[in-house]
């Protein structure tokens, strides 16, 4: 059956084929493939990482080996003065090393807890820390977090710059790994603590311990001191306790919290150590120019972003504005204990001073204290104090002048006043009513400064000092700043910079010490770019100089600062607020300038208390100003203050009127005022106030060129006060107020209301009782007599002769046909014959026919009228015609005078007068007692006040310049 086997022959098998679909079959991704790729990638990454690690190790070891000598410090930097002469060397000379065995455990724990909590666990690189730092860098989009371990910090400090770049970071890591390979953890920590910078020119933890606490043996340090040291390396200039005690304390609290959280200390230990306040050491090194050198380091960091550690190692050449002579003189002055008060039991009196060059703002010299030590408390820039009255010029007077409404001669109120609960007082308790700005500044009077700031607005003052570089606290929005009452105070440097704009025509230069910095190879690293800012007009600056020159002249508060050069300046003091010691001070200031330099001096105690306060003369700061400036400028050519172009000369105000006199003239109901003239081109402003008014009004009652005024508007009984202010008509500058004169206007029942015209003036009682006969009343105050002889009444009532007299309505005397006697307060009516002069009223002459006067003029009769002593002569017998102010027509008979009012005559018939003047009948008149200027028998110049018939009257209020040629309207004075 072998023939039937088809498979063996191969030709019996049937072949079949499938048609092509035209699509490729999709390959499936299996878990195995993913695992395979992951394995391969991981292997490649591991190989790369291993390569990188090997490179880092090799590279780090190579760098460490090549630069092992860099554990020592680099080249020192040099400081040059204004003449490009070397004056100081900056190097890390303050370094002391310790062995690991000398480092106490808690000090070690403090640094590890703060700087590198996994120090004992990592091999130089903390990848968790790097990851944390990387996240922060990504979020901030810049290199803000280093994530460095203690080993990395050592690598950076020794071998690298402070730049935060990825390349530098990688190099730092490689060196850190190499360090970990070569040294133990104890050795690394020892090198770190001996190498790092602790501020105040202290390198290493032992030098820092001696600098800040005076302790050489680290095992003697207390926990709070250890934490303070551990707080510094993050930012040495910010967190060292001398420079910034408050920030240092805050940072110390952070360190203690980290130590407690990591189990190094208990909560009780943390709380106790956090509460301690740092007290700086006294004494120390006193190298020449020390304050200035330290300020240069501070400015290099703050203005040019060069860290102090870099300066100490970088070999820089720093060119400054230092004047070595001025600096030495300043330091010698501050070493003279005679210029300061006796030391307190726990503190000595302190002081600071700064001198600036007016031309460019360069710091000429600076001292931070009497016992200033290297990197100590620089009181010139780090200790703001209350400026007292030295702040008035900046916040009140200068901004007021800048507004254009005031000049140095402007008059300011000097009155005790309450400003919504704020009650400023003058230091001497004296209030002058009004003073010029010159006097207010010269004598440092408080009330005018506060009143001026209140007038211009507190915001104006705040904005003005902000332009001067002094930004006030939000709580300073009140009038107390006029007297230097600030929330935070100001520094000596700030005050010097602000005042330097006055001698510089209103331009302020930013205060600076560094002019330029060169690298070690001589290339320019950075330079000061002078910032000049116009903060006030040249006119304001010039006027301020005029004001402040007065302060150092005789009578000013700053005479102790004057020396043989042009000097201007301002004193300042702040009152002690301790009970029983209010007469003493907390602070003394003098800020002043010559045409070349501006200087500010502060004196006081660092901590004021009942045992430490200023008891010396308030001129102490001015004495130091003179002592330093006079000697420091001795080699500098003397110049003068020069008035800027376009600034007008100051016109001096008129002299003050000192002899104002006033009296009330009862008869004419007039206040008569007079004073002596003070020169040409002067007018006088008269101000008046009554007893109900607290202050004189802002607008004058009258402006006149005369030196005599009659005020007829003071009509109500009261006590009136008057002052006179002279004004120069050319410059429109006002002088000071005159002396104040008080005038009492008394009640006068014998006169009617001067504003209501009517009858004549009544006597003391006003009503006349007639004798026998039938008397008819006058029309407007005229008494019609009856027959008979009237006798005078007692108190204004005249009792006539036979007949019945009816009273007049206004108090005018009507004569009979005989002899009239004078009334005591009104008008005398004559009989026939010769008229004798009245004593103050109207004299009626002898017989004749009288013609009407013009408002009280003389009516002549047919006789001879003799002049009265102050009024009008009325004629004698005949028929009198009425005057235009009212005439009384007489009847026959004899009238006797009343004692204070109108006289009623004897028998006859009288006709009514029209307003109060008396027309005579026949008889003889005797003198009356009322003040009218007399004329002759024919009558002239009637009714003029004061003077005789031919005189001119003084000035009348509301009719300025009127003479005696025209009488007043009837009944009006």
Residue 367 scores a pLDDT above 90? yes
- State if pTM tops 0.75: no
> pLDDT band at residue 809, thresholds of 50, 70 and 90?
very low
Instruction: Give the integer Cα–Cα distance in Å for 392 and 415.
Output: 17
Residue 313 banded pLDDT, cuts 50, 70, 90? confident
User: What is the band of 74 on the pLDDT scale with cuts at 50, 70, 90?
Assistant: low
**Shared fold status for 388-485 and 653-755+953-973:** no
For 653-755+953-973, give the CATH class. Answer: mainly beta
Is residue 112 within 8 A of residue 150, CB to CB? The reply is yes
What sign results for the dihedral spanned by CA atoms 34, 35, 38, 40? negative
* Residue listed under structure tokens 């890591």: 173
Highest-confidence range of 116-120, 619-623, 857-861, by mean pLDDT? 619-623
Calculate what percentage of the chain has a pLDDT beyond 90. Answer: 51
* Residue 70 pLDDT level (bands cut at 50, 70, 90): low
Which of 139-148, 202-211, 803-812, 921-930 has the highest mean predicted lDDT (pLDDT)?
202-211
Mean predicted confidence (pLDDT) in 658-673 = 93
* Range of weakest confidence among 404-413, 485-494, 553-562, 898-907: 898-907
Mean pLDDT of the chain: 77
CA dist 575 and 604 (Å) reads 12
**Which DSSP string do the residues of 669-687 spell out, in sequence order?**
TEEEEE-----SSEEEEEE
pLDDT at 802 over 60: no
Query: Does the structure show a pLDDT above 50 at 773?
Result: no
pLDDT at 44: 82
pLDDT at 172: 78
**486-545 pLDDT per residue, tens:** 999 999 999 999 999 999 999 999 999 999 999 988 999 999 988 889 999 999 999 999
Rank 120-129, 329-338, 889-898 by mean pLDDT and report only the highest: 329-338
Looking at residue 962, its pLDDT comes to 32
Query: In the prediction, which pLDDT does 966 show?
Result: 31
How much is the pLDDT for 884?
A: 40
The pLDDT-based confidence of 47 (bands split at 50, 70, 90) is confident
Q: How many Cα atoms are found within 13 Å in the side-chain-facing hemisphere of 932?
A: 40
Q: Is the pLDDT of residue 327 over 80?
A: yes
Q: Is the pLDDT at 662 greater than 60, yes or no?
A: yes
Structure tokens at 870: 């102050």
- Fold classification of 100-274 (topology level): Penicillin binding protein transpeptidase fold (1.10.3810)
- Beta carbons of 175 and 64 less than 8 angstroms apart: yes
Cβ atoms of 924 and 939 closer than 8 Å: no
What is the dihedral sign for C-alpha 897, 903, 904, 906?
positive
Residue 583: what pLDDT? Answer: 93
Pick the range with the lowest mean pLDDT from 322-326, 751-755, 819-823.
Answer: 819-823
> What integer pLDDT is reported at residue 729 of this predicted model?
87
Residue 888: which pLDDT band, with cuts at 50, 70 and 90?
very low
Between CA 472 and CA 460 the distance in angstroms is 13
For 388-485, CATH number? Answer: 3.40.710.10
Per mean pLDDT, which range of 21-25, 203-207, 330-334, 672-676 is the poorest?
21-25
φ/ψ of 612, rounded to 5, equals -135, 100
Looking at domain 322-385+491-510+533-640, its CATH architecture is: 3-Layer(aba) Sandwich (3.40)
Sign of CA dihedral 747, 750, 754, 756: positive
**% of the chain residues with pLDDT over 70:** 67
Query: Which residues form the catalytic set?
Result: 115, 389
| Chain centroid, CA 666 distance in Å | 50
- Please determine, for residue 883, whether its predicted confidence score (pLDDT) is greater than 50: no
How far is the C-alpha of 153 from the C-alpha of 554, rounded, in Å?
64
> Of residues 142 and 830, which shows the higher confidence score?
142
pLDDT at site 780: 39
Most confident of 26-35, 118-127, 266-275: 266-275
* Domain boundary assignment for the chain: 100-274, 322-385+491-510+533-640, 388-485, 653-755+953-973
Q: How many CB atoms lie within 10 A of CB 522?
A: 7
Q: Give me the half-sphere count of Cα atoms (radius 13 Å) on the Cβ side of residue 216.
A: 2
Please tell me the distance from the alpha carbon of residue 470 to that of residue 494, in angstroms, as a whole number.
7
Considering only CA atoms, which of 210, 251, 587, 494 is closest in space to residue 375? 210
Q: Are 349 and 339 in contact (CB under 8 A)?
A: no
Is residue 63 classed as helix, strand or coil in its secondary structure? helix
**Residue 88 above 70 pLDDT?**
yes
Tens of pLDDT, residue by residue over 161-184, are 555 555 666 777 888 888 888 889
- Indicate whether 397 pLDDT > 90: yes
pLDDT at residue number 704: 95
Residue 46 binned pLDDT confidence (cut-offs 50, 70, 90): confident
Lowest mean pLDDT among 92-106, 301-315, 431-445, 528-542: 92-106
The phi and psi torsions of 619 (rounded to 5 degrees) equal -90, 5
């Amino acid at each position: 059956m072998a023939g039937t086997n088809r498979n063996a022959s191969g030709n019996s098998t049937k072949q079949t084929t499938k048609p092509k679909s035209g699509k490729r079959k999709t390959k499936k991704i299996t878990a195995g493939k993913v695992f395979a790729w992951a394995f391969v990638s991981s292997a490649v990454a591991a190989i790369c990482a291993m390569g990188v690690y090997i490179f880092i190790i090799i590279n780090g070891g190579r760098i460490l080996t090549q630069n092992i000598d860099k554990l020592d410090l680099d080249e020192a930097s040099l400081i040059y003065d204004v003449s490009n002469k070397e004056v100081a060397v900056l190097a890390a000379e303050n370094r002391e090393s310790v062995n690991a065995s000398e480092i106490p455990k808690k000090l070690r724990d403090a640094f590890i807890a703060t700087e590198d909590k996994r120090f004992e666990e990592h091999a130089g690189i903390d990848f968790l820390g790097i990851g944390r730092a990387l996240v922060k860098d990504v979020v901030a989009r810049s290199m803000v977090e280093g994530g460095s371990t203690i080993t990395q910090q050592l690598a950076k400090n020794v071998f690298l710059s402070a730049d935060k770049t990825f390349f530098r970071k990688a190099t730092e890591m490689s060196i850190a790994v190499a360090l970990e390979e070569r040294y133990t953890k104890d050795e690394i920590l020892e090198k770190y603590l001996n190498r790092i910078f602790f501020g105040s020119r202290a390198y290493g933890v032992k030098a820092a311990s001696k600098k800040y606490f005076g302790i050489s043996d680290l095992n003697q340090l207390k926990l709070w001191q250890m934490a303070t040291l551990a707080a510094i390396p993050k930012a040495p200039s910010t967190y060292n306790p001398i420079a910034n005690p408050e920030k240092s304390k805050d940072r110390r609290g952070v360190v203690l919290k980290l130590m407690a959280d990591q189990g190094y200390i208990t909560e009780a230990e943390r709380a106790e150590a956090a509460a301690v306040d740092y007290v700086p050491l006294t004494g120390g090194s006193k190298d020449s120019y020390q304050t200035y050198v330290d300020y240069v380091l501070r400015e290099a960091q703050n203005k040019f972003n060069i860290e102090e550690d870099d300066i100490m190692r970088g070999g820089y050449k720093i060119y400054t504005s230092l004047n070595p002579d001025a600096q030495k003189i300043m330091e010698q002055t501050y070493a003279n204990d005679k210029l300061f008060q006796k030391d307190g039991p726990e503190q000595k009196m302190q002081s600071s001073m700064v001198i600036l060059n007016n031309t460019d703002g360069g710091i000429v010299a600076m001292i931070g204290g009497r016992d200033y030590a290297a990197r100590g408390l620089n009181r010139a820039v780090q200790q703001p104090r209350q400026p007292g009255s030295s702040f008035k010029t900046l916040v009140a007077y200068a901004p007021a002048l800048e507004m254009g409404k005031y000049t140095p001669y402007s008059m300011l109120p000097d009155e005790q006043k309450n400003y919504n609960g704020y009650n400023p007082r003058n230091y001497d308790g004296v209030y002058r009513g009004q003073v010029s700005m010159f006097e207010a500044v010269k004598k440092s009077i408080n009330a005018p400064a506060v009143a001026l700031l209140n007038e211009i607005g507190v915001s104006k003052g705040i904005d003005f000092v902000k332009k001067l570089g002094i930004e006030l606290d939000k709580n300073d929005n009140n009038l107390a700043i006029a007297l230097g009452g600030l929330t935070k105070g100001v520094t000596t440097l700030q005050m010097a910079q602000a005042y330097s704009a006055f001698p510089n025509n209103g331009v302020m230069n930013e205060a600076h010490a560094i002019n330029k910095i060169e690298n070690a190879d001589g290339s320019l690293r950075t330079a000061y770019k002078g910032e000049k800012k116009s903060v006030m007009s040249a006119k304001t600056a010039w006027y301020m100089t005029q004001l402040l020159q007065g302060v150092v002249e005789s009578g000013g508060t700053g005479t102790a600062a004057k020396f043989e050069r042009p000097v201007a300046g301002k004193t300042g003091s702040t009152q002690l607020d301790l009970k029983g010691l209010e007469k003493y001070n907390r602070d003394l200031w003098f800020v002043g300038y010559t045409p070349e330099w501006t200087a500010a001096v502060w004196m006081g105690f660092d901590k004021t208390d009942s045992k430490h306060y200023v008891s010396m003369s308030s001129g102490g700061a001015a004495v130091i100003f003179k002592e330093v400036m006079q000697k420091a400028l001795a080699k500098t050519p003397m110049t003068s203050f020069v008035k800027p172009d376009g600034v007008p000369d100051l016109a001096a105000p008129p002299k003050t009127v000192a002899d104002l006199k006033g009296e009330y003239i009862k008869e004419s109901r007039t206040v008569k005022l007079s004073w002596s003239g003070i020169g040409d081109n002067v007018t006088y402003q008269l101000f008046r106030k009554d007893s109900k008014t607290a202050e004189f009004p802002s607008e004058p009652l009258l402006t006149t060129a005369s030196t005599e005024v009659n005020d007829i508007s003071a009509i109500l009984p009261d006590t009136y006060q008057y002052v006179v202010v002279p004004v120069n008509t050319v410059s429109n500058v006002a002088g000071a107020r005159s002396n104040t004169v008080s005038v009492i206007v008394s009640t006068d029942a014998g006169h009617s209301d001067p504003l209501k015209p009517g009858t004549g003036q009544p006597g003391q009682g006003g009503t006349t009782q007639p004798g026998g006969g039938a008397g008819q009343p006058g029309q407007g105050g005229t008494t019609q007599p009856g027959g008979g002889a009237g006798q005078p009444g007692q108190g204004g009532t005249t009792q006539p002769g036979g007949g019945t007299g009816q009273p007049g309505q206004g108090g005018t005397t009507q004569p009979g046909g005989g002899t009239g006697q004078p009334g005591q307060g009104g008008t005398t009516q004559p009989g026939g014959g010769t008229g004798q002069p009245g004593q103050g009223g109207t004299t009626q002459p002898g017989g004749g026919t009288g013609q009407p006067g013009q408002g009280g003029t003389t009516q002549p009769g047919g006789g001879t009228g003799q002049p009265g002593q102050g009024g009008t002569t009325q004629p004698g017998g005949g028929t009198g015609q009425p005057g235009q102010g009212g005439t009384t027509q007489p009847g026959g008979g004899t009238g006797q005078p009343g004692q204070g009012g109108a006289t009623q005559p004897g028998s006859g018939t009288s006709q009514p007068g029209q307003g109060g003047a008396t027309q005579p009948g026949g008889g003889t008149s005797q003198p009356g007692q009322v003040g009218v200027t007399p004329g002759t028998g024919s009558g002239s110049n009637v009714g003029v006040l004061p003077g005789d018939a031919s005189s001119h009257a003084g000035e009348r209020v509301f009719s300025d310049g009127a003479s005696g040629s025209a009488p007043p309207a009837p009944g009006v004075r």
